[in-house]
């Protein structure tokens, strides 16, 4: 059972997850009704899946393929 809030766990691990090549974002969500972490990737692969833990501090980690994420211009 997690001891820290999911917000704190995300804050503590966001930089290390974002440092993995191919990761374009991280966030929190619900998976099967329980708090979980989402790791957004350009393209999922076995190699990338090996680098991303399936659980961090008691929270399930789900890999979501989004493709490249780009900011929209200010208009």
Average pLDDT across each block of 10 residues of the chain; the chain has 75 residues. List them in order.
Answer: 90 97 96 95 95 96 93 84
CA distance 46 to 5: 29
**pLDDT for 30:** 96
75 part of a folded domain: no
Give the domain range for residue 22: 6-65
pTM of the predicted protein model: 0.89
58 part of a folded domain: yes
Specify the number of domains making up the chain.
1
Q: Do 70 and 59 touch, CB atoms closer than 8 A? A: no
**Distance of alpha carbon 29 from the chain centroid:** 10
40 part of a folded domain: yes
74 part of a folded domain: no
**Strand, helix or coil for residue 40:** strand
**pLDDT for 56:** 97
């Amino acid at each position: 059972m997690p001891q820290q809030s999911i917000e704190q766990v995300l804050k503590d691990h966001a930089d290390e997850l974002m440092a993995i090549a191919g990761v374009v974002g991280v966030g929190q969500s619900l998976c099967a009704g329980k708090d979980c972490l989402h790791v957004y990737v350009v393209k999922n692969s076995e190699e990338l899946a090996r680098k991303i833990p399936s659980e961090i501090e008691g929270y399930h980690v789900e890999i979501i393929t989004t493709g490249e994420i780009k900011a929209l211009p200010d208009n």
